[in-house]
A and B are shown apart, each in its own frame.
Chain A
Amino acid sequence: MGMSAQDKMLNVASRLGLTTLKDMQGTTRMVYDSQTTAATNHTFFKGAAQRAFPLSNVGANGNQFQVNEALLVEKIGFFIPTAADGIAYTGLGANNRSVLFDLVIGNKTVMKDVSCELGGEQAFYNDGTSASSVIDLEGVGILIPPQVEYYVVAKIYNAAARTAETARLGCYLFGTGALLNFNTTI
């Protein structure tokens, strides 16, 4: 039987000496960040504290979680902001856009040169008739521990022609999370 998301979180937390993460509030969590200037290369979550909602939802803590808050990344999606205000967005769809990306946590690259191919995951991902702009992480997922910086470096390209594209881009990380719970009076 495979390891559950909760098991993996607790296992990694234990190895990192985070002994109280097991007492925190379990949740479903997602963080996202948008770059609304068209470019070929984008870096997400770094400096995101400067980008208020709806450009990003990370808040004042920027690209690290608070004490005893964590996210087990189980799914990574990419979207195209429609305008500079970042309010509306679409999937990668047009021009066969796909994304080549790295996920970096702390000083460690934990996903390297991974491509989120437009329309990938056809075996199990079905969103009406729309091609997928999402990649499911194989295995249980990857934990972003509390107070460790994380970011995503991404390049856009045309999945059919295999050539670089220039566009706005956004990225979300989705999975099981933990929220701070004091578990005592303070």
Chain B
Amino acid sequence: MANQVQKLSYVDSKLGVSLPGQQTTRVIYDSINAAAGQQFFQFFTNFAGKTQFQTNLTTNKLDSAESMVIKSVQIIINSATSNIEDHLNLNITVGNQVVLKDFDPSFNCSSRGLSFDRLHSGFNSPTNLEVRLLTEIVIPPQVNFKAELQISNALVAVNDDVTIILKGYGRIFSAGNSF
């Protein structure tokens, strides 16, 4: 079974990414300031006017010499009325391909004895969850990606913030040479 490092190398080489790059742990995130009752959120598609704490990307693709593995997904909602422990529906698309389909991460929210992870946190929050994926999913360089989240409850209030965070092994540009 390939680990994150092997999988990233394999996919990158298949796609003709020759530069070795600097190995790293990559965390990318995007936050949406919600409208009242909003239930559908599309992340990594609109970066206009966002601060560095709302997103750490400026476009919906990684740089030409950068790639990463999606190994864990974290979702945070800043809301006094809504939560993410009710059923969710998460889809992640890389390129034109759905790589995580109709996934419900809400079972990992709160401490209800329902989490997918064997050692789940005692962090009993209805507004903050993380799921560690079983598979390594690669975001290659220069391929656009997006995440779509549907919240089953319609309790989101105006100006609530919904954030998704993708984390995993990655590579960032390293020239390996002097310019």
Spell out A's residues near B (CB within 8 Å): 4-7, 25-32, 53-54, 57-59, 74-75, 77, 79, 86-93, 118-119, 124-134, 136, 172, 174-177, 179, 181
Residues from chain B with Cβ under 8 Å of A86 in the complex? 87, 152
Which of A5, A26, A58, A92 has most B Cβ within 10 Å? Answer: A26
19 A-B pairs in the complex with CB atoms less than 8 angstroms apart: A4-B1, A6-B1, A27-B135, A27-B137, A28-B100, A28-B135, A53-B87, A58-B102, A77-B114, A79-B107, A86-B152, A90-B112, A91-B114, A119-B113, A126-B118, A128-B120, A131-B113, A133-B112, A133-B113
Total cross-chain contacts (CB, 8 A): 121
Q: In the bound complex, do residue B99 and residue A53 qualify as a contact, i.e. CB atoms below 8 Å apart?
A: no
A25 and B114 in contact, given A74-B134, A87-B87, A128-B121 (Cβ under 8 angstroms) = no
Q: Report the bound CA distance from A77 to B120 in whole Å.
A: 14
Chain A residues with CB below 8 A from B123, complex form: 128
Task: Decide if B45 is an interface residue (CB 8 Å cutoff).
Answer: no
The reply to whether B87 and A54 form a contact with Cβ atoms under 8 Å apart is yes
Contact A128 B87 (CB under 8 A): no
| B33 CB within 8 Å of chain A | no
Residues of B within 8 A of A57 (CB): 87, 89, 102, 104
Q: Are B137 and A134 in contact (CB under 8 A)?
A: no
Known: A28-B135, A30-B107, A130-B112. 4 other contacts (CB 8 A): A27-B135, A118-B113, A127-B120, A179-B97
Q: A172, B111: Cβ atoms under 8 Å?
A: no
B111 near A128 with CB under 8 A, answer yes
Residues of B that sit less than 8 Å from A by CB = 1, 85-87, 89, 97-104, 107, 111-116, 118-124, 131, 133-137, 150, 152-153
B134 pairs with A175, CB closer than 8 A: yes
> A181 touching B87 by the CB < 8 A rule?
no
B134 adjacent to A134 (CB under 8 Å): no
Whether B102 and A128, one on each chain, are in contact in the complex, defined by CB atoms closer than 8 angstroms, is no
Residues of chain B contacted by A126 (CB below 8 angstroms): 118-120
Which A residues are CB-close (under 8 A) to B111?
127-130
